[in-house]
Amino acid sequence: MPQCLTVAVSQSHTLPTTSATLAALASTTREAARQGVDLLLFPEAYLGGYPRTCNFGAAVGSRSGEGREQFLQYLHSAVDLGDTPRGAGDAWVERKLEVAKGKEHRGDGTREVLERVAAETGVFLVVGIVERAGGSLYCAAVYVCPRKGCLGKRRKVMPTGSERIVWAQGSPSTLKAVTTTIKGVKLTLAAAICWENYMPLLRYALYSQNVNLYLAPTADSRDTWLPLMRTAAYESRAYVLSANQCVRRKHLPSWIRSSPSEKAGSSSASNVTPKSEEASANAKAKEPQEVKISALDHGDVPKTPEPTPIDKAHGIVSPSPLHL
């Protein structure tokens, strides 16, 4: 019996403030819900921002004053989810961490906003986040269920290249899949963030948990990315969703634009079936706020030699407003 879900990826870019980005996330999610979307993936570092082209004034053995100021600005733009620097795991998920006297919750309220948006729209959210904990920043992805709130969160194990200047290493203990049921369809989903997808053993750590929905929020728009997503789909026998921000240089924070740098780059997104087929065209976004929607048939997704292909797909649509 067919078990169909409608999933989508957003190519939205980070806005100048966290509150503005959260408002855009809520608007995009509401429009996606009106299109019948059950699960929506946002790109890597959507909340907090991906500091593309910024070198933070770093050279071997030195840091410039301007670069230190840039990091301070970036630190303030990150979100506080109320977790510890080490990562509290289930204690964070289950809200067992101590809350300061006089406070309603830990963190800056971002977790609560995400949970409220998911609950109000009925859309399961997976959101790329730059998370502040102590004095460190982590590239993370959070899974938000409309019924139960945050089911889990994981941090990028090894930041890529110069990302290591500003992002700390996440714990491998966060490489855990989460399970949920949407419209009677049982899902085991997990996210590998950007370059983690190029790490075979990390991919296998997720495959071994029997994922049937593999998520890849990214900042990589090179031609090598789509073949990698096809590989992940074929290896895992899972559906693969990938989302990247469509960003122009004018969309970067002023503290980055004030320094001469290269072109900011563009975006691509992909929805790939377990047979390594594209559910919809892997076109690069032409506008900064775009969403791709696909209908997935999970009726035969379990690790079969020939999983049932996606039965229909829609092209790129604009979430503000969303038109098919």
Residue type, position 148, single letter:
K
Instruction: State how far the Cα of 36 lies from the Cα of 38, in Å rounded to an integer.
Output: 6
* Phi, psi angles (nearest 5°) of residue 127: -125, 130
Give the pairing type, strands 291-297 and 312-317: antiparallel
With tokens 């982590």, the residue in question is 138
Q: What's the length of the chain?
A: 324
In DSSP terms, 322 is beta-bridged to none
Catalytic residue among 54, 139, 145, 156: 156
Residues ≥6 apart with Cβ < 8 Å to 214 = 189, 190, 192, 206, 232, 233, 236, 238, 239, 240, 241
Handedness of CA 255, 132, 39, 235 (dihedral sign): positive
Catalytic status, residue 194: yes
Instruction: State how far the Cα of 221 lies from the Cα of 226, in Å rounded to an integer.
Output: 9
* Phi, psi angles (nearest 5°) of residue 80: -110, 110
Instruction: State how far the Cα of 301 lies from the Cα of 246, in Å rounded to an integer.
Output: 30
Catalytic residue among 163, 194, 246, 290: 194
Residues ≥6 apart with Cβ < 8 Å to 300 = 307, 308
Q: Let me know: does 141 contact 215? Beta carbons within 8 Å.
A: yes
Residue 228: other Cβ atoms inside 10 A? 19
Catalytic status, residue 263: no
Instruction: State how far the Cα of 314 lies from the Cα of 324, in Å rounded to an integer.
Output: 7
The two three-digit tokens of residue 88, written as one number: 């509290």
The two three-digit tokens of residue 208, written as one number: 């071994």
Catalytic status, residue 176: no
Q: Report, as residue numbers or ranges, the catalytic residues.
A: 44, 156, 194
